[in-house]
Amino acid sequence: MMKKLIINCTVLSMLFLGMTIFSPRVLSAPVCDKGTITSQASEFKYVAPDTATISFAVKTTDKNSQKAVELNNQKVSKIIEVLKKTLNADEAIKTSYYTLTQNYEYNNITKKNVPDGYEVINTLTVKLKDTQKTGKIIDIATKNGATNVNSLSFTLQNTDGVCKELTAKAVLKAKNEAQSVLAPLGKTIDAISSINYSCTANSSYSPYRNFAMAKGLASTAEGSDSAISIEQGETRVDASVTIVFTIK
C-alpha cells in the first residue's frame, strides 16, 4: 500500500516551522501547489488466473523428407482430433510454429558434415479458459504423440471487475488521507482538480518445470486416469490513483 500527500505550502508553512522547532528530527518541507492537495494511494489483490496457454511440439524424423512430414501430420492430426473433444467453445488450438530441416552428422573420416535425414517440428498452442483442465490437456497431448511441452503460462485477461474494486478502494483511501491532513488545519476538500489512475495485472505466471521429455510424462501417466498435477497459482493486480483536490 502506497500513500503520498502534497499539500498547500502556504497553509502548512507555520505548522512545518513549529514542527522543525520542537522536533529533534530534521524534516523536509512538503512539495506543494497553492490551494491544492495531491493525494496518492494504491491497492493490490491476488486473484486466480482465468486463462492458461500451453505450447507443445510434435517432432518426427526420417531419412526421407516427405515421410518425415507425413509422420508428423498423422501425429498432429490425432492430437488435434482428441483435444477438440475436450475444448469448450471459447477455447482454441492452433499451429504456432512449423519447420522442416535437414539434419547433418559429422563424419570423422571425411571431416565433413554429411546429410542425415530430415526433422519436422510442428508446434501447437492451446488456450484454455477452464484452467483446471491444464493438466488433463498436457496429459492427452503427451499420450497421443507430443514430444515436447515448450511452455505453460497462466494469465488474467478479464481484469474489469477486480480493477473497479481496487480503484474504488484506492480513491476512497486517497480522499480520506487528504481529509485527515486538512482537518487539523481547519481546512477541507473543495473539489477535484484532476485525477489519474491505473490498474495492471502481472502479464503472466509461468510455473517452471522441465517438460522437454514429454514421453517420460506420458509413460508415467500410462495406465492411470489421473491427469498431470499443475498448480496455477495467483496473479497480482495493482491499482493506483493520484488525485489533486482544491482546498477550502
Whether the CB-CB separation of 117 and 63 falls below 8 Å is answered with yes
pLDDT by residue (tens digit) across 130-145? 999 999 999 999 999 9
User: What pLDDT, on the 0 to 100 scale, is given for residue 5?
Assistant: 55
**For residue 169, what is the domain's CATH number?**
3.30.110
Comparing 6-15, 162-171, 188-197, which segment has the lowest mean pLDDT? 6-15
Q: Specify the higher pLDDT residue, 202 or 32.
A: 202
User: What pLDDT, on the 0 to 100 scale, is given for residue 28?
Assistant: 33
Neighbours of 204 (CB within 10 A): 16
Tell me what the mean pLDDT of segment 146-169 comes to: 94
43, 59: one domain = no
pLDDT-derived band of residue 109, with 50, 70 and 90 as boundaries? confident
Calculate ∠ Cα 201-204-205, nearest 5°.
Answer: 115
**For residue 143, what is the domain's CATH number?**
3.30.70.2970
- 142 within a domain of the structure (yes/no): yes
What does the DSSP 8-state code read for residue 63? S
164, 135: one domain = no
User: What pLDDT, on the 0 to 100 scale, is given for residue 1?
Assistant: 46
Tell me what the mean pLDDT of segment 186-192 comes to: 94
* 236: pLDDT strictly greater than 50: yes
- 141 within a domain of the structure (yes/no): yes
Which residue in the block uniquely carries the three cell numbers 508553512? 13
* 65: pLDDT strictly greater than 70: yes
Tell me what the mean pLDDT of segment 70-92 comes to: 95
Q: Where are the alpha helices (DSSP H) in 33-122?
A: 65-84
Give me the domain span that covers residue 174: 3-47+160-201+238-247
User: What pLDDT, on the 0 to 100 scale, is given for residue 229?
Assistant: 82
* 34: pLDDT strictly greater than 90: no
135, 98: one domain = yes
Whether the CB-CB separation of 126 and 91 falls below 8 Å is answered with yes
Q: What is the tally of structural domains in the chain?
A: 2
What are the Cα distances from residue 57, in Å, to 72, 84, 96, 104, 231?
10, 17, 10, 21, 22
- 76 within a domain of the structure (yes/no): yes
